Structures are given as structure tokens and as C-alpha cells.
Amino acid sequence: MKYSLVAAAALGALALPTFAFAGARAQLAGSLAAGQPAQLDVTVDGEVSGAPDVHVPGARVQLNGQMSSTQIVNGASSQQTKFIYSVVPDAAGELDIPAISVATSTGAQTTAPIHATVSSSPRPSPSPFSGSVGASPAPATTNAAAPTGRVIQSSPHAFITLDVPTHKLVVGQAVPVTIRAYFRAGTSATLDGAPHLTTDAFTLSNLSDKPAQTQVQLRGEPYLQATWTALLSPAKPSTGKLAVELPVELAYRAAPRPAQHRTMRDIFGADPFGDAFGSDSPFGDSDPFGAMDMDIDSMFDIGPMQQEQVTLRGPTSTVTVIEPPDAGKPADYSGAVGAFSLSVDPPTGTPRVGEPLTLAFHVTGTGNFDRVTGIALADATGMKTYPAKADFVAGTTPLTGTKTFTQTIVPTRAGTVEVPAATFSYFDPAKHAYVTAHTAPLSLTVVASPGGGAADPGLAASVREPGMLPNRVDPGEPHAELMPLVDRASTWLGVAGILAATILAILIAWSRRSHRIASVLASRRVDREVARATEAMQRAADQADPVAFFSAARTALQTRLASTWHTRADAITAHDVAARLGDRGETIREVFEHADGMAYGAPTTEPLEYWDGIVRAELAHLEVSP
Amino acid sequence: MIRRLAISALLIFTATASADPFVAGNAAAAHGDHATAATSFERTLAERGWSTNALFDLGNAYASTGQRGLAILAYERALVLSPRDTAVATNLAHTREAAGIAQPMTSRTHAQLSRLSSDEWTWIALAAVLLAAAAMSARAWWPSQRRRTGAVAVFGAAIAVLGFGAALEVAPARSAAVVVHPDTARIAPVAGAEEAFPASEGETVQIEQQRSDYVYVRDGDRYGWLPAHALERVLPERAPAHT
């Protein structure tokens, strides 16, 4: 597992929110040693007109570079500038860096003076944040050899912390811990492994696979923070030191050494523009390099790149681990430590003799659920029990969740069967006492099995393997076929039969509807033709045209009779009328004879209005009772 | 005299009880004679037909004699009849675990549909077919109700399609078979052919084709020929299987 964490100084400075106070502040990075450079940062909020002059009695000070960042929050912008100096003390002893005044757009800002001690020999730089970030102050450098490089408790470039919520634990207890590694902006870090503890008296579990990365500002310095979460469990009683280590490969630019400072003159041997133009220099007296003994490295705020493999070791803290007391330890205590509650889901359905029922015991709470075991009922009067199965569902926060124990019980006799209470004991570190949780006993009303016979208690021997449910005494309902209905041809034949019957029913209905519709349509057609003929009668009567009148009257009567007799209308004669209707058709027959007579010029004695009434009455009569 | 009568009655009762193979099987099982129990339960199935309880007890008997393939087969068949029977499912899972056979993976849809048996789904579908048919007929006979009857017909048809689909999904495949005797699947249906994969007792495989004494089976993504006697179909060709 290797992760690369690159904290880019410029990006970090731009991206990070500024939590530092407004104004100006000076900070000395690293300890001071005679003749050795140390970094002095002067950070100023607001616009500055130029780098402040820094004079430290007893030390050489040189400006190495500056960084500016602008932050825009809700439309309001703020600017911050950091000036980086190197300070080289002349000799060991006390060193006072006086207040530094910086001219800004809002006026002069002044830093607080710094008092420091200069050692006589060079030593590795302690963390500038010692005592402020870790749990214990004043980290000391350790030069213990390790496979991944030297062990350091902190450096200006990286350090690690371990947050333990409590320093007094009980064996079996588990507590969530947070491990944070900090890498200063501009430092490239490659993790050579996961964080681990310095002692085997504790175990670290559930360590997050990848650290959460975020950028933070510590005392005005941008840092990349890598955070792991894990569970810390003591393995045995102890009182010992606990720290965390992280193997990591660091790459960073070291502070520039004075001896290595190079100027333009160093590079070119002389002023590159001094001689080229002679007295006719285009810059006149303002040779851009001639007047400057400028430090090239400081122009880019860089020193030489350094890379090393180290093991970061966090501050050591003392954690006391005790055993749960023997006094008052319940017999069923299985090592669970935390705070839990116990409940039971009663079985659903009607309990029957010989039929299995399921009980679900739920243990909910916070603690080491892996030690929550053995919640099950034993055989009791009227019921046989089987081993329970456990299933754990984790909660949203570490160490929380619900462990469910599902147990099968089989009533062995009808009547009221008392299911005893289940118990679960654990050690509560908050109360520093054992707690035993109980479920409420259940009362089941068991009915006889469908077969009528009570289960023979001897049937428990019908299965040899534990955990299996015993034989049934009722043979059950027999089935002639095992093949599912959907796979049987008879099923699909039945479906086909239903569909065929449906189609037949639809066809019959359609056929009957067709006859009825045809009849209605024919009736309507006859009505229309009769209506046309009676209109022609009316016109003929109005025109006193007896020939046309009787012709139309005959047509009307023929049409009406034809619809009843199911024959052609023009084929019906007076003879047919006489033959079929007898005396009842006398009037109709007279109309037919008049119609024939009119064609040959025979006169009629009655007026046409008389015959109009006669014909209409006959038509109405035929429509009602043909 | 009374003692003689009592003994005679007991003998008659015992003989009558023993005539019922199911009772005899349970009596043998209660005394730990699981081989006799298995034979009796096989007889029960042959005489009475398939029943969940007889298959369950048969599975218990086989599991107790160490014949886990036959036990799993009996439990599988019991689940065809009673898919919601938790006792059968419990013993099947236990036997699979004891045999080192992985529990079959089922989709969530299959698990939801399996709340009803294949036959129950089929009955629902058949009822829906009848409903749709009646509605279609009514629509033809009473055109004034055509909108209402049409909606009922569409609803019935949809339920029928879903019901038959669920029944087919829940029903065990006709090609499913359980390895009742462990053997080695080979790449060809001959005894000396190269080995394809070992078929463990109790594993469920799919029969792809059958050729004389060998069957071509699929076990996941593995294929091979197994002797026909090593397998038993979950849904037997004939019913009951042991007549």
C-alpha cells in the first residue's frame, strides 16, 4: 500500500482558508544552531509595499523569497504575503529577534519579538508545532534505526498524532481512535505502509483503507492532513506507553545554505551586462544585475531537494488497561464490553406441535459485538430448541449496530408452552459494573398438528446431525404429481380449452347480434320505402291524380306485406292478399284492384282523401300486427 | 387371561402400525435405524404419492445415513411442493453445508416470487385467464358494457401473463438434477475419457442431453459427461419416482 501525498506550497497557500489572526506575525521554523541556517517566516495580512528589513543582533539574516496568496470568500478578497528569511546565528547562546515592522496599505503592522536559544552544535529541527498538535509536548528526535529509515517523532515537514478518547480501558473493550498525519505544504510524502502501533499490548482493527485528505492551517502554515480511523482494543491488562508509527518517504526542499548562495556574478563570472554595453549600456546606470548581488536560489524560494525514508512516530501517551473484575461476574459473561439492550421478536403464525418456530433476539448498542455471543434458549418443557445463528448489522457509527440471533424452536406438545426469558451479560465500562439484560418470557398457545398426533419426543433422534429439525409425524397431503402445474401439458390444454370456449361464446354472440342488426336494418329500410310511397300518395291526392295515388298506395302496401311475408314486394297480387289474409285483406285487395283499374281508366266513386285514410289505417294495422 | 388379551391387542396394534410404512419409518428413525427409516419412507412415497412430510423425513433419514446427495434430492423435491416450508429449507441448507456444497445464489426477483409456489402462481394465472375469458365473452354479449368488460379483460390477461411468468420462474428447471453418487464428469461419454470436473455428491447440475448410459451436464460454466446412475432428476420423468 503506497499513497502519495503531495502538499504543494503554492496551491496550498492559495486554497487554504486563513484561520490565523490578522496583522503580522513572525515564526521561527526549527531550532537554532551556531552557524546553521534556520527559517524565519514573516506573514502579513493585507497589501504590502515591500519586504521588511530584518536585523537580528548576533545573526546574519537574508531574504530568501516571498509568497502571496489571495482568498475570495463571498465576494470579499483578502491578501496574505509571507516573507521567508534565513537566519544564521553567529554563536551559541541566547538570540532575540526584535519586533519586525511591515508597511501595509492599512498602516504599519508589527510582529511580536521572538526569544530563542542557539545551541552550539547542529541538531535536527524539532517540530515548530511541538506541544500544540500532538497529545504530548516536546517531541524529541529519535535516531533509532528502522527498516524504513530513521524514526522521527516530528519534523518541520511531517508529524503524526493518535487521538484516543480515553486513557483507561477494559480488556475486551474497543474504542474508536483517529490517526492524523500532517505534511507541510511543499513536502511530497509517499506512504510505505499503514499506520501501526508501537506496542503489541493493543490491536488496531478496522483501519480505514485510505486516509481522508484535507488541507489545514496550523499556526499559519498550510499542511496536508491525512486521517485514518480505526478501533483500538487492548489485548491484555497493562499500563504502558502507546504511540503510532507511519513509514513514509518524504521529499522536500531544504533551506538554502549560505555557502551555496549563488549570485548572478557567480553564474556568469561577472555582470553579464556590465561589459557588453560598456558606457553605452541601454540601462544606463540602472544595470538590472550589476547593482544586485541577488541570490538565485532565493529568487525561486527553493533549496536543494532532499528525499529520505523515515518512520513518523506520534506522541506517546499512557493508557491503563484493566481486567473486568471477578467479583460479580455473571456465569454467562462472554467478554462483551459496552452498553447494550436485548429484545426478542415473538414467533409469527399459529404454533403447531412439531412445526418449527423462529425466535429472533436482537442485541443493540455500542461495544465489541464480536464478543456478543451465546444468546439462545435451552430445551424447556414442551419445546425443543436448536442452535441459534447470528447476523450482525453495523450501525452508522463505529462500534454500534445490532446483532440478531435467530433460533428455531419446535413445540413438542399442544397447550400453553412457556418460552423462558433469554439473558445476556456484559461489562459496562461507564458504570464499571456487569449488567445482565433479559427478554420477557413468552407464552405460546400451541395447537395440535394437522395430522392430529403430538410429536413424539423420541423423534429428536430422527436426525443425527445437530442443528437439523426432526421428523414429522404427520405424513401430509399426498400429491399424485411432483411436476409443477405450469410444466404439465394438462394445464396448457385447460388454458386452450378456456380460450376456445371464449372464442366460441364470442362468435355466437356476434352471430346473434348480426341477425338482430340485419332485422333492424331491414325494418328501417321498409319503413323508409313505405314513407316514400305515402308521400307519393299525398302528392297524388293533392294533384287529384288517382292513377298515381293508387299506384303509390299499392306500392306502400306491397312493401309492408313483403317485409312480413319475406317475398318480393312487386310480386304480391290481390289474389295473394285474398289467399293469405282472407276477409281481413278485403280493403287491401280493393286498393290493388283500384290500382289495376286505374291503369285501364276505370273511375272511382270515393274521393281520394277517403282512400288515403283507408290506406294509412291499413299500413298502421300491418305494422302493428302483420 | 387379561394379560393374554392385552398382549394380543398390542401385537395387533403393532402389526397395524407397522403396515403403515410412514409410521414404521418414524419408529425406525426414533430408534436411530435411519437406513430402515429411509426404506420405509421410500415405500410411503411409492404407495401414497408425493408428500412434503414424507420427503422431509426421507431427507432426514438419508442425511443421517450420510447419503447427502439423496437427502438433498428429497429436500429439493419437498420444496417443490412446499416452497415456504422453513424446516425443509433449514435441513436442506444444513445438509448442503455439511456436504460442502455452496448455497445456490438466487436473484432478488426470484426470492420475492418464491413467496408463492409455482403451483400457486399457476392457479392465480388460471383464475386470471378465466376472468379475462369471462370478460371477453361478456363484452361480446353485452356491448353496452364493453368499456367495463374490456378493462376487466385486459386486467385479467395481464395477471395471467404475470402469473404464468412467475410460475415458470419459480418452478425448478425440468433439467435440474442432483448428483446422488459422486463421480467424475468427462469430456466424452466413455469411461476412459479425459476428466472435465469432479461432480460432488449433492451438487445440482443441469442435464443438457442424454445418450445411453451417460448424460451431458452443465455445472455453472463447466460441462461434462456423467454416468446416468450418478444423477437423479429433481422432477422425475415418472410419478411417483419410486414405484
Question: In sequence order, what DSSP letters do the residues of B190-210 get, joined into one string?
Answer: STTSPEEEEE-TT-EEEEEEE
Cβ neighbours of residue A530 closer than 8 Å, sequence gap 6 or more: A556, A559, A560, A619
The residue whose grid cell reads 451431458 is B216
**CA of B153: which chain A residue's CA is closest?**
A502
Highest mean pLDDT among A4-8, A53-57, A248-252, B205-209: B205-209
Confidence tier at B3 by pLDDT (50, 70, 90): low
Find the length of chain A. Answer: 626
Give CA–CA dist A378/A386, Å, rounded.
8
Round the average pLDDT of chain A to a whole number and report it: 77
Amino acid (1-letter code) at residue A190: T
Chain B residues lying within 8 Å of A498, measured CB to CB? 126, 129-130, 133
Give CA–CA dist A608/A266, Å, rounded.
146
**CA of A468: which chain B residue's CA is closest?**
B91
Coil, strand or helix at A362: strand
Cβ atoms of residues A177 and A165 within 8 Å: yes
Task: Name the grid cell of A396.
Answer: 452508522
Residue A359 phi/psi, 5-degree rounding, is -110, 140
Q: Angle, to 10 degrees, between the axis of helix B21-30 and the axis of helix B52-64?
A: 30
Of the CA atoms within 13 Å of residue B85, those in its CB half-sphere come to 23
Tens-place pLDDT, residues A229-240 = 988 888 778 887
Q: Which of B91, B134, B141 sits opposite A469 (nearest CB)?
A: B91
Cis peptide before A546 (omega within 30 of 0): no
Q: Which of A463, A491, A501 sits opposite B63 (nearest CB)?
A: A463
Give CA–CA dist A159/A507, Å, rounded.
91
What pLDDT score was predicted for residue B136?
A: 92
Chain A residues lying within 8 Å of B94, measured CB to CB? 465, 467-468
Numbered residues of chain A with Cβ closer than 8 Å to any chain B Cβ? 355-356, 358, 408, 456, 458-459, 461-465, 467-487, 491, 494-495, 498-499, 501-502, 505-506, 509-510, 513
Looking at the predicted structure, is the pLDDT value of residue B209 above 80? yes
Give CA–CA dist A217/A267, Å, rounded.
38
How far is A382 from chain B, CA to nearest CA, in Å?
18
B59, with CB counted inside 10 A (0-12, 13-18, 19+), is: buried
Give CA–CA dist A80/A13, Å, rounded.
9
> In sequence order, what DSSP letters do the residues of B19-30 get, joined into one string?
HSHHHHHHHHHH
Percent of chain A with pLDDT over 90: 13
- Bridge partner residues of A104 (DSSP): A48, A107
Give CA–CA dist A554/A597, Å, rounded.
12
ipTM here: 0.81
Looking at the predicted structure, is the pLDDT value of residue A362 above 90? yes
Cβ atoms of residues A344 and A163 within 8 Å: no
A354 Rama class: left (phi>0) / alpha (psi -120 to 50) / beta: left
Q: Which of B44, B61, B133 sits opposite A499 (nearest CB)?
A: B133
What pLDDT score was predicted for residue B238?
A: 58
If you ran DSSP here, which 8-state letter would residue B229 be given?
A: G
Alpha helices for A244-397 (secondary structure H):
264-268, 296-299
How far is A469 from chain B, CA to nearest CA, in Å?
6
Give CA–CA dist A595/A606, Å, rounded.
14
Cβ neighbours of residue B87 closer than 8 Å, sequence gap 6 or more: A355, A356, A469, A472, B56
Question: Could you give the angle at the alpha carbon of A559 between the alpha carbons of A557 and A561, nearest 5°?
Answer: 70
SS (H, E, C) A571-593: HCCHHHHHHHHHHHHHHHHHHHH
Instruction: Determine, for residues B52 and A468 on separate chains, whether the beta-carbon distance falls below 8 Å.
Output: no
How far is B21 from chain A, CA to nearest CA, in Å?
10
Give CA–CA dist A82/A42, Å, rounded.
6
**CA of A461: which chain B residue's CA is closest?**
B30
Chain A residues lying within 8 Å of B40, measured CB to CB? none
Cβ atoms of residues A524 and A561 within 8 Å: no
Instruction: Determine, for residues B29 and A356 on separate chains, whether the beta-carbon distance falls below 8 Å.
Output: no
Amino acid (1-letter code) at residue B200: S
Instruction: Determine, for residues B137 and A509 on separate chains, whether the beta-carbon distance falls below 8 Å.
Output: yes
Mean pLDDT confidence for A526-545: 91
Chain B residues lying within 8 Å of A495, measured CB to CB? 126, 129
Q: pTM, whole model, 2 decimals?
A: 0.44
**Least confident interval from A295-309, A422-436, A610-624:** A295-309
Cα B180 to Cα A256, B94, B104, B233, distances in angstroms? 80, 17, 17, 10
Alpha helices for chain B (secondary structure H):
2-19, 21-30, 34-48, 52-64, 68-81, 86-99, 108-113, 118-141, 146-170
How far is B118 from chain A, CA to nearest CA, in Å?
6
**Least confident interval from A215-219, A438-442, A448-452, A581-585:** A448-452
Chain A residues lying within 8 Å of B235, measured CB to CB? 482-484, 487
Give CA–CA dist A178/A212, Å, rounded.
11
What pLDDT score was predicted for residue A227?
A: 92
**B43, B82, B90: best mutation site toward chain A, by most A Cβ within 10 Å?**
B90
What pLDDT score was predicted for residue B190?
A: 85
Instruction: Determine, for residues A491 and B94 on separate chains, whether the beta-carbon distance falls below 8 Å.
Output: no
Q: What is the dihedral of CA A145, A148, A152, A158, to 10 degrees?
A: 170
Q: Which of B26, B118, B171 sits opposite A459 (nearest CB)?
A: B26
Chain B residues lying within 8 Å of A461, measured CB to CB? 29-32
Tens-place pLDDT, residues A62-78 = 776 677 666 655 556 67
Q: Which of A474, A481, A513 sits opposite B53 (nearest CB)?
A: A474
Give which of A268, A496, A475 is closest to B46, Cα–Cα.
A475
**B23, B121, B137, B142: best mutation site toward chain A, by most A Cβ within 10 Å?**
B137
What pLDDT score was predicted for residue B27?
A: 87
What pLDDT score was predicted for residue B164?
A: 94
If you ran DSSP here, which 8-state letter would residue A413 be given?
A: S
Q: Angle, to 10 degrees, between the axis of helix B34-48 and the axis of helix B21-30?
A: 160
How far is A500 from chain B, CA to nearest CA, in Å?
9
Looking at the predicted structure, is the pLDDT value of residue A451 above 80? no
Give CA–CA dist A61/A86, Å, rounded.
6
Give which of A526, A611, A615 is closest to A565, Cα–Cα.
A526
What pLDDT score was predicted for residue A458?
A: 57
What pLDDT score was predicted for residue A298?
A: 43
**B23, B26, B43, B124: best mutation site toward chain A, by most A Cβ within 10 Å?**
B26
Give CA–CA dist A193/A198, Å, rounded.
14
